[in-house]
Homo-oligomer: A and B are copies of this chain.
Amino acid sequence: MAAGYKNESQPDTNEKIILAARTEFADHGYDGARVDRIAVSAGVNKAMIYYHFNSKRNLYLAVIKNHFEVIKTYALKDVDPETSLENILRILASTFVDMSSRITSFKPIILRELANPNREVLKEIVAAFTESRLPELLGHSLSIEVQKGNVRPMDVRQMIASFITMNIGYLLLAPLINRVLVIDDRETFIQERREAVVDIFLNGIRTR
């Protein structure tokens, strides 16, 4: 009766646990998450969690590390650094939108982590950003355009902060904004958003 023993090998206990833990932590937060529940939904004995991860905290960190590896898969590695600013912006906007729908269970984890920034985890997030070379790429392109006179002289960090928040900020605040602005067709709105943010931002910084 007991579910097959045998190392039939794949689904890989380790991964099953991380997957179950991810949704548990996303749904309930660290303190609200229950190790027993993770064990059940992973179809694994609780002892296995401690065998593989030693502690709840450790499992939590493993979930986060694992997720960043996933994220790096969708990263913007192969953006031609010589491409136009407009192209970079378009790619970024699309990447944010695409990513957000693929990492739904990560969003709540990040939001909670932002609530009480924890050195360890924050470092990981910052590293992911840095490794993506997004700020570097964007900052570089913006500086050049300023020199060329195509973009008005202005603190480049303010520009980057604006573009990032227009994108990520919406993805995080969506449940709120969608209600306040009475947005019914969220899918359409988010798709149109890709063009809107590039449009507004680009015109916002361009020389008139």
Interface residues of A (CB under 8 A from B): 26-32, 107-109, 111-112, 114-117, 122, 125-126, 129-130, 135, 152, 154-155, 157-162, 164-166, 168-170, 172-173, 175-177, 179-181, 183, 189, 192-193, 196-197, 199-206, 208
9 smallest A-B Cβ distances: which pairs?
A169-B169, A204-B204, A165-B169, A200-B204, A108-B115, A31-B31, A31-B32, A158-B196, A111-B115
Question: Are A200 and B193 in contact (CB-based, < 8 A)?
Answer: no
> How far apart are A35's CB and chain B's nearest CB, in angstroms?
14
Question: Are A159 and B200 in contact (CB-based, < 8 A)?
Answer: yes
Across the interface, A173 reaches (CB within 8 A) one of B114, B154, B189, B205, namely B114
> How far apart are A174's CB and chain B's nearest CB, in angstroms?
9
> Oligomeric state, in number of copies?
2
Q: Within 8 Å CB of A159, what residues of B? A: 196, 200
Closest to A129 in B: B180
> How far apart are A36's CB and chain B's nearest CB, in angstroms?
15
> How far apart are A150's CB and chain B's nearest CB, in angstroms?
14
CA distance A177 to B162 in the complex (A): 10
Question: Are B157 and A181 in contact (CB-based, < 8 A)?
Answer: yes
Q: Within 8 Å CB of A192, what residues of B? A: 155, 158
CA distance A204 to B159 in the complex (A): 12
Question: Are B189 and A200 in contact (CB-based, < 8 A)?
Answer: no
Across the interface, A204 reaches (CB within 8 A) one of B29, B116, B176, B199, namely B199
Across the interface, A114 reaches (CB within 8 A) one of B111, B117, B180, namely B111
Question: Are B29 and A115 in contact (CB-based, < 8 A)?
Answer: yes
CA distance A46 to B201 in the complex (A): 52
Q: Within 8 Å CB of A160, what residues of B? A: 181
Across the interface, A200 reaches (CB within 8 A) one of B112, B117, B135, B162, namely B162
Q: Within 8 Å CB of A180, what residues of B? A: 126, 129-130, 135
Most-contacted residue by chain B among A30, A177, A180 (CB, 10 A): A180
